[in-house]
Amino acid sequence: MDKKKGSISFNWIIENCIETFNSRGLDITLNQLASELGISRGRISHYFPTKELLLVAISQEYEKNLEAITSSYKFSTKENFLVEQLKLYSLVMDNQYRFRCVMIYAAGTSSSRSEMVKQINNRFSGSKERFRLLTVKLTELGYLDKRVLESPNFDVFRFKFITVFTSWVVHYELYDKDKTYQEVKSIYLEAIGSCFLSYALPKAKEIISTIDFSTL
């Protein structure tokens, strides 16, 4: 792309800003961001008048990628459903890592960031029902005790799962940045898998306790 000819696209800005936010952090201003990318601030603000709107757009791109991953993923057999679910989580983690800047931004979002709050709420409203259906399926396949679906058990279970699955990125940035993502990924993935242990039936316990998470 020839930046001098004004051919900067919406998608080009998003892709390059993801990389810059990931490497430089979220404190970078739009002016600094433009300088880093070798373009004028006006090229960015043409599409994104504020940094929040830029990060909301990156969050939407994250959601599109997540939807593509989950909708195209194929489960082969019911017998291996839990293992394959963990493999799917591994792919989702890769997407979270690629978009880690917006995962971190969302984790620190307050009511003053109205657009991001709206984006998070829209995402969460859909994910709640999907997670309930997944939990029902895991009970039907004999992986989880049906007590997990009772109140308040399910709400506590969902809270633990979502917290671990969304906060590992922040933990990595704060405490494990001296290691590569691949070095610590299996630890975080095992932590996600361990959320099932509170209500795991014997076959699920065996899978979670014996599987090599580094191979997923």
The pLDDT of residue 79 is 80
pLDDT (0 to 100) of residue 114: 76
Specify the amino acid at residue 188. Answer: Y
Q: What is the pLDDT of residue 122?
A: 74
3-class secondary structure, 200? strand
Determine phi and psi for 46, rounding to 5 degrees. Answer: -60, -40
Q: Which pLDDT does position 1 carry in this prediction?
A: 43
Buried b / exposed e along 112-137 (16+ C-beta atoms within 10 A): ebeebeebbeebeeeeeeebeeebee
Q: Which residues pair with 200 in a beta bridge?
A: 144
Task: Look at residue 155 and give its three-state secondary structure.
Answer: helix
In order of their start, the domains of the chain are: 1-49 (1.10.10), 59-215 (1.10.357)
Low-confidence ranges of the chain (pLDDT < 50): 1-2, 4-6
Task: Answer yes or no: are the C-beta atoms of 78 and 207 closer than 8 Å.
Answer: no
pLDDT value, residue 4 = 44
The 10s digit of each residue's pLDDT in 15-66 is: 999 999 999 999 999 999 999 999 999 999 999 999 999 999 999 999 999 9
- The 8-class DSSP code of residue 27 comes to T
With pLDDT > 70 as the criterion, what percentage of the chain qualifies?
A: 95
The C-alpha angle 143, 209, 206, rounded to 5 degrees, equals: 45
pLDDT of residue 111: 66
